[in-house]
Structure 1
Amino acid sequence: MTIDWWTLGLEAINVAVLVWLLQRFFWKPVSAMLDARRAEAMDDLNRAAAKRVEADKVLASVNQERSGIERERESILAKAAVEAERERSRRIEGVAKEIDVLRSAHQEAAAKEKAEATKVMQDQAASLAVDIAARLLARIDTDSIESGFLDALRKQIMSLPSTRRQALAGQPMKLISASALTNPEQSQCRRILGSAFETEVDLTFAIDPKLIAGFLLDTPNVVIANNWRDDLNRIRAELKND
């Protein structure tokens, strides 16, 4: 309960005026009533004082609770601030890691694209170089160098194990050349290949201009090649692998 002191003051003034009026005009008839009124007023004041003391106690308790609530609020806010800072640090760290991953992925992708582009350029350069070489070689008169290819083919056959040569000797073979061979040239091929296999061979002839120059011996089990096309293909593969 809260005491309105203004009201109490006004009541005191009214009492004083009333006392003065009663003292001036009605003191004796109403003196007993005034004493009772005074006693009642004192009781009211005492009760008001008691209630004020009680109110002060309640207010002190409320203030104490409010102080406790304030301290708890400050503690909660402090904990929330710490947790928010931790979360912020975690997010910053996570974003930094994501940036590193993206940067690494970008660098790897760029390096891969560069390597692929370089490989494509190397392959194109190798193919162009081989194509140019093939065109130049195709203009050369190969009649004078066919014997060299045939001798190289003979040496390749001679390098095979004897058991392997014996197994191949009994099989039909096809000798493919870049251009048509004359009858004397075919006879020479039979003679040279027969010396390599150490026996007469069952040999037929075919033409493949893509060989440019040289020969390709085709058997059911193995193909032995010595020609410019295979040489150029081998050079192209080596250039692409460098």
Structure 2
Amino acid sequence: MTIDWWTLTFQTVNVAVLIWLLQRFFWKPVSSLIEQRRRTTQGILDDAETKQKNVTGALADIASTRAGFVKESDDIKTAAHLSAEQERAALLADAAKAAAALDVAARASIEKDRSAAATALSQRASTLAVDIAQHLASRLDGAAIQATFLEWLLKAIAAMPENERREAARDGSSLVAISAAPIAADDQERYRRLIGQSFGSHPDIVFQTDATLIVGLELRGPTLVLSNSWRADLAQVAMSLTP
């Protein structure tokens, strides 16, 4: 096989020229274009990555905001529930206070009515008792009744402590004997003598009448009150009947 060195040399030169031409007029512009496209693509990728990061951050902010909304909603619900419970408790307390006040008022009204009824009944009973006593007194022997009350008065004087008896009726002291009906002058002298003997002194006794005594003989002085009459007895009975 024979090699044509001139042809080989010519072709080699042609290839070298072609490579030079390609490198100068094709590969550099293409390489520059590729580098530009690479940079553009990288910029687009970097921008996309930045946007992705921004989107991720925005999604995180949205999630945080939603979590905040949920927490705020739960807090609002809890606060509303607590407020409703407090208001319900306050309403129940007010209702209980109102019911207690009504109960107290009702009890007070009932007690007032009961007391008024008891007072009215006691007054009616006292009035009836006085009427009955006056009716009985009008049918009894006045002298005998007066003698009985005089005896009771003398016993009451005798039952007094000695120091009180002496203090109540010193010689010359003034006493008032009150009877339901007038006492005759002769009887007055006898009453003075008997009363003075019971005191062991000589007091000055003045006689007065008071029909409201019904029947009896009471003795009063500066330091002495001896209630000895049906009026006094009826008053004690009325007090015992008063609730």
TM-score by length of 1: 0.75
- 1:146-185 matches, cutoff 5 A: 146-170=146-170, 171-185=173-187
Q: Partner residue of 2:104?
A: 108
Give the number of aligned pairs. Answer: 206
Q: State the Cα distance separating 1:52 from its structure 2 match.
A: 4.2
- 1:40-55 matches, cutoff 5 A: 50-55=46-51
Corresponding position: 1:83 with 2:85: no
Select 1:209's aligned residue among 203, 211, 225. 211
Contact 1:175 1:203 (C-alpha < 8 Å) held by counterparts: yes
Q: State the Cα distance separating 1:54 from its structure 2 match.
A: 3.0
Separation in 1, partners of 2:149, 2:80: 83
* 1:160 counterpart SS class: coil
Q: Partner residue of 2:236?
A: 234
Where structure 2 has 5 or more consecutive residues not aligned to the other structure, the ranges are 1-34
Separation in 2, partners of 1:61, 1:131: 102
> Structure 1 vs Structure 2: percent identity of aligned residues?
19
Separation in 2, partners of 1:184, 1:136: 31
Q: State the Cα distance separating 1:40 from its structure 2 match.
A: 9.8
Separation in 1, partners of 2:190, 2:97: 69
Separation in 2, partners of 1:130, 1:97: 48
Q: Partner residue of 1:135?
A: 131
Q: CA RMSD in A?
A: 2.6
2:155 maps to a residue whose letter is: K
1:59-89 Cα offsets, whole Å, 9 max, x none, are 2211110101111121122122222222222
Q: Partner residue of 1:218?
A: 220
Q: Partner residue of 2:9?
A: none
Q: State the Cα distance separating 1:174 from its structure 2 match.
A: 0.8
TM-score by length of 2: 0.75
Separation in 1, partners of 2:52, 2:59: 10
1:185-211 Cα offsets, whole Å, 9 max, x none, are 212322331232123331111111111
1:21-73 Cα offsets, whole Å, 9 max, x none, are xxxxxxxxxxxxxxxxxx99998887666544433322221111010111112
Q: Which has the larger radius of gyration?
A: 2
* 1:226 counterpart SS class: coil
2:216 maps to a residue whose letter is: G
1:70 maps to a residue whose letter is: R
